[in-house]
Chains A and B, each alone.
Chain A
Amino acid sequence: MTHAATMSRDQTATVSAVEDNLIRAHAYAALAMVVISALFGITVAIKMNWPGFLGDTAQLTWGRVRYAHTQGIFFGWLSNAFIAFLYYGVPRLAGRSVSSRSLGWVIFAVWNLVAVVPGWALLLAGYSQPLEWAEFPPIIDAAIILGMLLMVVQFVVPFFRARMSDLYVSGWYFIGGITFTLLAYPVGNFMPEFVSGAEGAAYSGLWIHDAVGLWVTPMAVGIAYYVIPAASGRPIWSHFLSMIGFWLLFFVYPLNGLHHYIFSSIPMDMQKGAIVASVYLGVAVVIVVINLLMTLRNLGGKVAADPALRFVWLGVIFYVAVSLQGSAQALMPFNRFVHFSDWVIGHSHLALLGFASFIAIGGMLYAWRNTVGARYNPHMATWSFWLLTFGLLAMVLDLTIAGMVQGQLWQGTGPWIDSVEASRGYWVTRTLTGIPILLGFFALIGAMTMGQRIGQNDTHSIPTRASKFQDINVYSHAGRNAWLRGAYAVTGIAGIGFFALSFLVLAVWPGREVTATIARTSPETLIAYTESEARGREIYGREGCAYCHSQMIRALPADEQRFGPASEAWETAQDTPQMWGTRRIGPDLSREAGRRTADWQFAHLWNPQSVVPRSNMPSFPWLFNGSARQPTQEGIDVVAYLESLGRNRILAGEAARSGTAGRGMPPELILTAASPDIAARGRDLFAANCSGCHGATGEGDGPAAAALLPHPRNLTQVRLSDARIAEVLWKGVEGSAMPGWSDMPVADLSALAAYVKTLPASVESEPKTAEAVAGAGIYAANCALCHGANGAGDGVSAGVLAPPPSNFQTELPSMDYALGALHNGIPGTGMPRWDTRLSDAEIESVSRYVRTFYEGEAAQ
C-alpha cells in the first residue's frame, strides 16, 4: 500500500479541504501582486523614454519602481504562485498533509503582509539594498528568511515521514528548492553588506543566479514534472533521467554565479569555472526538457485542449530556450557584446515571465481546477495563454534586437547617448508589449474567478484509474539491494556538499584571491570616502543609479577605450555593498572624478535633459531646494560621491581623468556647410547636444545655463576662428562645464562647427584705427596680465586660471558683449567687473581695443 492509499478517504478529504483555503489565499495574492508588479514594470518601461512620467516624485522615480518591479515579480507573484501549488502538490507527493493549517496562515501573513507589501513600501520610500534580486532592505530579508524557515517546517517536514526512496522527482525539486534557498538567501542578501568590492560582487553574483537557480527553477521544474504526467495521464518518460537532471542542476546552477562578472577583476580562474558550469547547465536542462517533452510525445491534442498543460508545455520550451541562451551568454566571445545590454533584460524576461511564469500559471490552473469550490473558466485561460505568449515573444524579440544594436554601438567610440537614442524605438515597442501581457494576466484572473464553480465531480479531468499502475512490481530486487534505499540520503548529503562547494569556489576562494590581489596591487594609501561622499553613496544606491550606470570597466578594448583602464579589485575595496551593476543605460561611472564640473553635475541631477538634451535619465528634484543652484545636503552628498569615483586610481597615476576631451591637436574640420544637408545636420546636432546649455538659438540661455558657472557662452555675440572652434569642440574648455566632443564623428564635428560659425552673424572685427587703439594703454595696465600684451590670452597669470583668459586673436566679442563683460565681469572665471575701477569711457575704449586683436584664420 502506498502512503496516499493508507490514508482513509475521510482523511484525504480533510487534507484537501485544509489546503484549498490556503491555495486560494496564495493564488489570489499571486494574481493581485502580478498585476501590481506588471504595472510597476510598465511604468519603468514608459520612463525609459519619458522619465518624467507620473511626475518627478521620489517615490515613483525609475530606480525605486524598478526595484519594486523585480522584487514583486519574484516574491509577490512567482513565490505566491509556487506556494499555492505546494499546498496542492506536497500532500499528494508526501502522502501526508502539510504540517499545519495555522502555520499556513502564519506563512501567508509573513510572506505577504510582513515581507512583500511592507517591502514595496520601503523600496518606494527609499529603503533598499542596491543589489540585484536582493533589493528589499535587510529587515525584509529577515522576514523572508523567517518565511522560508516556516516553509521548511510546512512543506519539507511532511516528506521526512515518507519513504524517501519512493519520492517522486517533483518532491525532490520542492525539498531542494526550499532548503537550498533558505541557505543561499542569507548569504546572498547579508554577506555583501559586510564584504566589499570584488569579494562582495562574488557573493552577489552567486545570489543573482541562486535566486533563479535554487528557488524559481526547482519550483517551476517540480511543477512541470507534476502537471505533465498528472494532466496527460502518462507517466514521466524516464524517472532515471529526471534524477540525473535534478542532481546536475543542483550541482552546476550555484556555480554559474560569476558569469555575471566576466572580464571583471574577479580572478579569471573563477570566471572560467562559472563559464564551464554554465555550459554544463545547458546540458542538464536539455536532459530535463527531453524527458518532459518525450512524456508528451503524440499527445498534441491533449496539450492543445488543456490550458494548464499548454501553459506548462510552452514554459518547458521557454526553459530550454532561455537556458541555452544563458549558456551562450556566458561564453566570452558572446558575452563581450551582449553583457550590460537589453539582450540580458530580454533573457531575464524569457526566464521569469516565460519559463517560470508559464509553468507557475499552468500549475496554478491545474491545482485550481481540482479545487472544489473554485471558479475556473478554460476559455479565459486560453485567452490568457495567447495574450501572454504574444506579449512575451514580442518583448523578448524586441529587447534582443535592442541589445544587439546597443552592443554594436558600444564597440565603437561614438557618443554614448547615440546608443540611448538608437534604443528609443525599441523601448517604445517594449512598453507596448506590456499591454498584452497585462491583459493576459487580467484574463488569468478572469479564468480563476469568473468561470463555473468546481464541484466534487469536476476535479481531475484525466480520470486515470489507479488499477492501471497496480501491477508494476518495482521492488522485486529491493530486498537484495536494500542499500539502494539509502542512496537518496547519500545524494542528499552530496547536495548540501554541492551547495557548500559553490560558496567555497565562487565566493570564499575568490574572496581570498581578491584579498591577496588587492594587497599586491593597491597603492599604499587610499583616500577614504568622506562622510559626505559616504552619504552620497547611500543615496546613489537608494535611487537605483547602479541599475543604469555600472562601476566596472571590463578588461575589453571597447570598454577601456571609452572609459579608461579596466577596473582593478582594489578600486572598490572600500565599497560595501559593491555597486558594479549588471546593466548600462547610461555610461560607466568608475572614473567620474574630475570628468565634469560640480555645477554640471548639479544641473544634470536637477534636470538631465538641460545639459544632455537627448538623455533619458530621470530628474532628482528632491535633492534640491527649488533650483539647480540650491542643492540640499543630499544633493551635495551625491555630487561629492560622484566626484570621488575613480579618484584613487587617477591619483595613483594609473588612469587619466576620463572624459570626452580629445588628446593632441584637433582634426582638420571643414567649416563650410557645403550643402543644405550639412547645414541641417549641424543645426540638428546643435539642438541635440548643445542647446541645453547654449540655448536653441545659441544665445547662452539654455535651460541649464543659469545653473552653470561660468554661464555658457552666448555664441551669437562672439566670433571664434575656425581653429578655436575646432579646439573647443575637440577639447572642451578647462574649468567650465563645456566638455570635449572628441567622441563625435569628424564629419559631425565639421557640420556642428560650420553651424556654430554661422551664429555670430553680426559680429564684425574692429579696424585698427587710431580711435580703436586708444585703449591700448588702459589695456596694458589692467588686462595684459591675464590676456597678454597682444591679446593672445598668454599673460603671466594665464597659466593658473581655469577657464583660461580669452585669446582675442581667435575670439572676437561683439562690442555689446565686451562692454557687458567689462562692466559686470564674467562670473565663474577670473574676469572681474571693471566698472568700479574704470570709467564708462575707459571701458568703451578698452572694448574697442580688444576687438582689434582678432586675426581670424590668420591667427593659426
Chain B
Amino acid sequence: MIVNIIVICVSLIVAGFLLLRLFVPGARDWFEAPKYRFMRDNAEQSDCDDSKG
C-alpha cells in the first residue's frame, strides 16, 4: 500500500517535470533561466566589488 503510494508519487513528480519540459513552449528556457540569472548576478556582484576597488 505505502510502497504503491511512493512509487506513484515519484512517477508523477518525474513525469510531470518531463511533460512540462517537453510539451510546454518555453518551459525549457523557463526551467533554465534561474541558473543564468544566478551567474549574471554573481558576475554583477563581482563587477560591483571590482568597481569599489
Give the shortest distance, in Å, between B7 (CB) and chain A (any CB): 7
Across-interface contacts of B14 in A (CB, < 8 A): 244, 248
Within the assembled complex, what's the spacing in Å between the Cα atoms of A242 and B46? 25
Across-interface contacts of A235 in B (CB, < 8 A): 35-36, 38-39
* Contact for A12 among B33, B35, B40, B45, CB less than 8 A: B45
* Contact for A478 among B30, B31, B35, B49, CB less than 8 A: B30
Given A9-B51, A235-B36, A457-B53, residue A243 in contact with residue B17 (CB < 8 A): yes
Is A414 part of the binding interface, using a Cβ–Cβ cutoff of 8 Å?
A: no
* Contact for A251 among B13, B21, B27, B35, CB less than 8 A: B13
Decide if A168 touches B40 in the complex (CB within 8 Å): no
Given A229-B38, A239-B35, A248-B10, residue A2 in contact with residue B26 (CB < 8 A): no
Give the shortest distance, in Å, between B27 (CB) and chain A (any CB): 7
Is A464 part of the binding interface, using a Cβ–Cβ cutoff of 8 Å?
A: yes
Decide if A92 touches B42 in the complex (CB within 8 Å): yes
Across-interface contacts of A481 in B (CB, < 8 A): 24-27, 30
Give the shortest distance, in Å, between B2 (CB) and chain A (any CB): 3
Interface string of B2-20 (1 = CB under 8 A from A): 1101110110011001001
Decide if B30 touches A472 in the complex (CB within 8 Å): no
Supply 24 A–B pairs (Cβ within 8 Å), ascending by A. A2-B41, A16-B49, A92-B45, A168-B35, A229-B35, A230-B38, A236-B35, A239-B35, A240-B31, A240-B32, A243-B17, A247-B17, A251-B9, A269-B1, A272-B2, A276-B6, A455-B53, A459-B49, A460-B50, A464-B42, A466-B40, A467-B43, A476-B29, A477-B29
Interface string of A318-338 (1 = CB under 8 A from B): 000000000000000000000
Give the shortest distance, in Å, between A95 (CB) and chain B (any CB): 7
Within the assembled complex, what's the spacing in Å between the Cα atoms of A13 and B47? 12
Within the assembled complex, what's the spacing in Å between the Cα atoms of A293 and B34? 19
Interface string of A140-172 (1 = CB under 8 A from B): 000000000000000000000000011111100
CB-nearest residue of chain A to B41: A4
Is A470 part of the binding interface, using a Cβ–Cβ cutoff of 8 Å?
A: yes
Decide if B34 touches A238 in the complex (CB within 8 Å): no
Size category of the A interface is: 35 or more
Decide if A252 touches B53 in the complex (CB within 8 Å): no
Within the assembled complex, what's the spacing in Å between the Cα atoms of A229 and B37? 12
Is A674 part of the binding interface, using a Cβ–Cβ cutoff of 8 Å?
A: no
Within the assembled complex, what's the spacing in Å between the Cα atoms of A468 and B30? 19
Main secondary structure of the interface of B (DSSP, over half): helix
Within the assembled complex, what's the spacing in Å between the Cα atoms of A248 and B13? 7
Give the shortest distance, in Å, between B47 (CB) and chain A (any CB): 6
Interface string of A441-481 (1 = CB under 8 A from B): 00000000000000111011011111111101111111011
Within the assembled complex, what's the spacing in Å between the Cα atoms of A487 and B40? 23
Within the assembled complex, what's the spacing in Å between the Cα atoms of A450 and B26? 50
Decide if A468 touches B43 in the complex (CB within 8 Å): yes
Give the shortest distance, in Å, between B45 (CB) and chain A (any CB): 6
Give the shortest distance, in Å, between A276 (CB) and chain B (any CB): 5
Decide if B29 touches A470 in the complex (CB within 8 Å): no
Within the assembled complex, what's the spacing in Å between the Cα atoms of A167 and B41? 12
Is A273 part of the binding interface, using a Cβ–Cβ cutoff of 8 Å?
A: yes
Given A168-B35, A475-B33, residue A456 in contact with residue B3 (CB < 8 A): no
Give the shortest distance, in Å, between B33 (CB) and chain A (any CB): 3
Within the assembled complex, what's the spacing in Å between the Cα atoms of A466 and B45? 9
Decide if B43 touches A466 in the complex (CB within 8 Å): yes
Q: Which residues of B contact A (CB under 8 A)?
A: 1-3, 5-7, 9-10, 13-14, 17, 20-21, 24-53
Give the shortest distance, in Å, between A663 (CB) and chain B (any CB): 41
Within the assembled complex, what's the spacing in Å between the Cα atoms of A269 and B4? 11
Decide if A273 touches B40 in the complex (CB within 8 Å): no
Within the assembled complex, what's the spacing in Å between the Cα atoms of A255 and B5? 11
Instruction: Count A-B pairs with CB separation below 8 Å.
Output: 172
Further contacts, 7 of them, CB under 8 A, given A269-B2, A273-B5: A9-B48, A244-B13, A272-B2, A273-B2, A464-B43, A474-B32, A481-B24
Is A270 part of the binding interface, using a Cβ–Cβ cutoff of 8 Å?
A: yes
Within the assembled complex, what's the spacing in Å between the Cα atoms of A459 and B25? 40
Decide if B7 touches A276 in the complex (CB within 8 Å): yes
Decide if A477 touches B30 in the complex (CB within 8 Å): yes
Among A273, A466, A475, the most chain B Cβ lie within 10 Å of the Cβ of A466
Decide if A240 touches B48 in the complex (CB within 8 Å): no
CB-nearest residue of chain A to B1: A269
Decide if A484 touches B29 in the complex (CB within 8 Å): no
CB-nearest residue of chain A to B31: A240
Within the assembled complex, what's the spacing in Å between the Cα atoms of A291 and B6? 24
Q: Which residues of A contact B (CB under 8 A)?
A: 2-5, 9, 12-13, 16, 92-93, 95, 165-170, 229-230, 233, 235-236, 238-240, 242-244, 247-248, 251-252, 255, 269-270, 272-273, 276-277, 280, 370, 455-457, 459-460, 462-470, 472-478, 480-481, 484, 487, 498, 501, 505, 509
Among B13, B14, B20, the most chain A Cβ lie within 10 Å of the Cβ of B13
* Contact for A460 among B9, B33, B49, CB less than 8 A: B49
Within the assembled complex, what's the spacing in Å between the Cα atoms of A652 and B28? 65
Decide if A4 touches B35 in the complex (CB within 8 Å): no
Decide if B39 touches A469 in the complex (CB within 8 Å): yes
Give the shortest distance, in Å, between B35 (CB) and chain A (any CB): 4
Within the assembled complex, what's the spacing in Å between the Cα atoms of A255 and B53? 50
Within the assembled complex, what's the spacing in Å between the Cα atoms of A399 and B2? 34
Give the shortest distance, in Å, between B20 (CB) and chain A (any CB): 8
Within the assembled complex, what's the spacing in Å between the Cα atoms of A468 and B38? 12
Across-interface contacts of A478 in B (CB, < 8 A): 26, 30
Across-interface contacts of B46 in A (CB, < 8 A): 459-460, 462-466
* Contact for B5 among A463, A474, A476, A505, CB less than 8 A: A505
CB-nearest residue of chain B to A472: B36
Within the assembled complex, what's the spacing in Å between the Cα atoms of A468 and B24? 27
Decide if B6 touches A255 in the complex (CB within 8 Å): yes
Given A243-B17, A455-B53, A475-B29, residue A167 in contact with residue B2 (CB < 8 A): no
* Contact for B34 among A168, A244, A501, CB less than 8 A: A168
CB-nearest residue of chain A to B24: A481
Across-interface contacts of A277 in B (CB, < 8 A): 6
CB-nearest residue of chain A to B34: A168
Across-interface contacts of A498 in B (CB, < 8 A): 9
CB-nearest residue of chain B to A473: B29
Give the shortest distance, in Å, between A4 (CB) and chain B (any CB): 4
CB-nearest residue of chain B to A4: B41
Within the assembled complex, what's the spacing in Å between the Cα atoms of A229 and B36? 10
Give the shortest distance, in Å, between B32 (CB) and chain A (any CB): 5
Within the assembled complex, what's the spacing in Å between the Cα atoms of A253 and B20? 24
Within the assembled complex, what's the spacing in Å between the Cα atoms of A464 and B48? 12
Within the assembled complex, what's the spacing in Å between the Cα atoms of A481 and B28? 12
Of all A-B residue pairs in the complex, the 8 with the closest CB atoms, nearest first, are A477-B26, A273-B2, A474-B33, A466-B43, A457-B53, A460-B46, A469-B40, A168-B38
Decide if A4 touches B29 in the complex (CB within 8 Å): no
Across-interface contacts of B45 in A (CB, < 8 A): 4, 12, 92, 460
Decide if B6 touches A465 in the complex (CB within 8 Å): no
Within the assembled complex, what's the spacing in Å between the Cα atoms of A472 and B13? 28
* Contact for A168 among B7, B17, B37, CB less than 8 A: B37
